[in-house]
Structure 1
Amino acid sequence: MQTFFTPEQLADPGTAEANKILRTCVHCGFCTATCPTYQVLGDELDSPRGRIYLMKEMLESGRDPDPATVKHIDRCLSCLACMTTCPSGVHYRHLVDHARAYIEARYRRPLSDRLLRRVLAFVLPSPTRFRLALLGAKVVRPFAGLLPDARLRAMVRMAPRQIPPVSRAEDPQTHPARGEKRLRVGLLTGCAQRALNPGINEAAIRLMQRMGAEIVIPRGQGCCGALTHHMGQEDDAKAKARANVRAFAAEHAREPLDAIFVTASGCGTTVKDWGHLLAETPDAEAAQAMAALARDVTEVLARLDLPELPDQGLRVAYHSACSLQHGQRVKVEPIGLLKRAGFTVAQPRDLHLCCGSAGTYNILQPAIAGELGQRKAATLEAVKPDVIAAGNIGCLMQIGGKTNVPVLHTVELLDWAYGGPRPATLDRNVTVEGTGPSLAQNAA
């Protein structure tokens, strides 16, 4: 793609990188076949190729973003399926991240949008504030249908009926290995997951301890920065990433870590990109080093060579989270681990397509997210599973709200298979609720 940025524009590192990315695009359109929003909406401007044209024109002209451009870029899930498909290696992720930061700096959204985004940025990265919000949602749930905004209705309906207790296992501490110590690893505990399902990290800690890993939870860590970064709030995302980099770098300096593992793949994709996010800052070198240590929990477990177990008599439909399969290119480890633990693993058709969670997407774009969630739940149910497994908390919440099949994190199943407690979700009765407005209602 030919570009026409001025020398003054190219003096900005973000614009210079966007220029390089734009020039790699050859307009082939392969990305449209794997883009979830294009599959649902059928609009070229809601495909990666269409959005690339919009971003090019917006950035190249230097103008303030117009509402139409913002609408189509907002509709992007950042699922990164286009990057897996692209034969030219277009780094769409960094391009759309830059465009979102540009929009955040130069576009004044309607008041309701601004307020909602501020609330999300304030509440979700804090487990304490998020837990309080979930308790409030329980009170409002019976009246959710009366709320005037579809996004508010989506927020309330996604809140779990039972708020899990606070987990002390995720507090700053060291969990010693049982038996011979084989690895020393840091755990990024995350933020939203700590409020929604602390049992995931508890399962990971138990399993790794039994397999000979020492797990360190450094003081000073928090949200990885993904939630605000996806909303274009770059300064906030950098501040959160910087705090984590310093916390883990200090622990690594005290005694080297073999890895920093993450149980929420949406976080993992951002953690592995800390080096890029904090480039040109005083923390750049440490960020690169910590990002190089980052691993999904299944990558670390694969290194521990878990024993092969007999058939568990359970059929598992595996949902490959976009942030794991496209963002991190981790595909074989989760399936291999589940099979090694004795589970029968089935994969749905269109496994490359997003479930519609995508951080805050299912709140900000509830109609599109609802359609994608229904499609994903249907394809998973079609393989007749006893349980559905995934590696990202957002996917678990999104899919779990649209199916009566129990939905668990991969590590919860593995912990159970290797001697941990039976996951309570397997015994819970699930009632699927309505999924919000139709796409036709949201088209305006």
Structure 2
Amino acid sequence: TPLTNAAARRVLDKLGISLVSIAAAGCCGALDHHLAAVDAGRDRVRRNIDAWWPPVEAGAEAIVASASGCGVHIADYGHLLADDPAYASKAARISTLFKDLAQVLAHEDLGALAVDTNIGKVAVHTPCTLQHGLGEPGLLQDILARAGFALAPTSNSHLCCGSAGSYSILQADISGRLRERALANLSVEAPDLIVTANIGCQLHLQSPGAPVRHWIELFDPG
């Protein structure tokens, strides 16, 4: 969301990391991929590569996404365009440069952020795209614990919340049941707040219970 991206920019700035937004870059192409619109999705990938390539050539150290659902797709650009002679090497380079926002903060000194950790118990929802797709199942918990937040116990954290890209629209009934199960697993000890790393999961998990936010917002006073 705009709030998430603004928070990410401020947090990275405090850590001495310059974040450059590329206006010409657009949708990562994941939704097209979910809907089997392969050609349209690959066209989006090519447009993003074209948009990102000048800063890459100028020495950009990483391409960062705040949504793990987009991130896991960007990490796969090299595979998606492996058979495209005009883009294969560039796509592979983009995939190599990609980092989820959590992967960036994992290697930073969080003491510089002066975070207010007195916000009650925080339940962490790790999206499938972060824990399975990017292979980082405990990364959010590690970052938040290192910063001093009180983490609430959860159960069955390996299970999908039901958002799953277009799944919540195309399979609304099943998706809704998965959502209720996920909320129950996240609410084992009545957390004051739920955090996640993907916009799709964040919107899907909203309920009358604990509010759901992107985890980076906890490091930004606004």
- TM-score, normalised on structure 1? 0.48
Residue matched to 1:306 = 110
Residue matched to 1:259 = 62
Alignment of 1:196-345 (within 5 A): 197-253=1-57, 255-281=58-84, 282-307=86-111, 312-345=118-151
* Alpha-carbon distance in 1 for matches of 2:54, 2:74: 16
Q: Is the CA contact 2:78–2:88 (under 8 Å) kept in the aligned structure 1? A: yes
**What are the superposed Cα offsets for residues 210-265 of structure 1, whole Å, 9 maximum, x if unpaired?**
11011111232000000010111100000001111121122111x21111111110
Answer yes or no: is 1:414 the counterpart of 2:200. Answer: no
Q: How far did 1:362 drift?
A: 0.5
Alignment of 1:11-160 (within 5 A): none
Residue matched to 1:370 = 176
- What amino acid does structure 2 have at the position aligned with 1:367? D
SS at match of 1:355: coil
* Alpha-carbon distance in 2 for matches of 1:251, 1:332: 31
Q: Would the alpha carbon gap of residues 304 and 284 (structure 1) be closer, same or farther in structure 2, given more than 3 Å must change? A: same
* Alpha-carbon distance in 2 for matches of 1:328, 1:294: 11
Q: Is the CA contact 2:121–2:193 (under 8 Å) kept in the aligned structure 1? A: yes
- What amino acid does structure 2 have at the position aligned with 1:201? N
Answer yes or no: is 1:387 the counterpart of 2:193. Answer: yes
**What are the superposed Cα offsets for residues 254-312 of structure 1, whole Å, 9 maximum, x if unpaired?**
x2111111111000000000000111111010000011011110111122221186852
* Alpha-carbon distance in 1 for matches of 2:153, 2:88: 39
SS at match of 2:195: strand
Q: Is the CA contact 2:131–2:138 (under 8 Å) kept in the aligned structure 1? A: no
Q: Is the CA contact 1:320–1:390 (under 8 Å) kept in the aligned structure 2? A: yes
* Alpha-carbon distance in 1 for matches of 2:74, 2:11: 22
* Alpha-carbon distance in 2 for matches of 1:268, 1:296: 6
Q: Is the CA contact 1:246–1:286 (under 8 Å) kept in the aligned structure 2? A: no
**What are the superposed Cα offsets for residues 195-219 of structure 1, whole Å, 9 maximum, x if unpaired?**
xx31000000010001101111123
SS at match of 1:408: strand
Pairs aligned (count): 219
* Alpha-carbon distance in 2 for matches of 1:347, 1:256: 42
Residue matched to 1:131 = none
* Alpha-carbon distance in 2 for matches of 1:206, 1:198: 12
Q: Is the CA contact 1:317–1:348 (under 8 Å) kept in the aligned structure 2? A: yes
Among residues 136, 160, 166, which one is paired with 1:354 in the alignment? 160
Q: Which structure 2 segments of 5+ residues have no match? A: none
Q: Is the CA contact 1:310–1:341 (under 8 Å) kept in the aligned structure 2? A: no
Q: Which has the larger radius of gyration?
A: 1
Q: How far did 1:409 drift?
A: 0.4
- What amino acid does structure 1 have at the position aligned with 2:56? H
* Alpha-carbon distance in 2 for matches of 1:277, 1:304: 31
Structure having the larger proportion of residues in helix: 1
SS at match of 1:245: helix
Q: Is the CA contact 2:119–2:192 (under 8 Å) kept in the aligned structure 1? A: no
Q: How far did 1:347 drift?
A: 4.0
* Alpha-carbon distance in 1 for matches of 2:48, 2:74: 9
SS at match of 1:388: strand
Q: Would the alpha carbon gap of residues 403 and 326 (structure 1) be closer, same or farther in structure 2, given more than 3 Å must change? A: farther
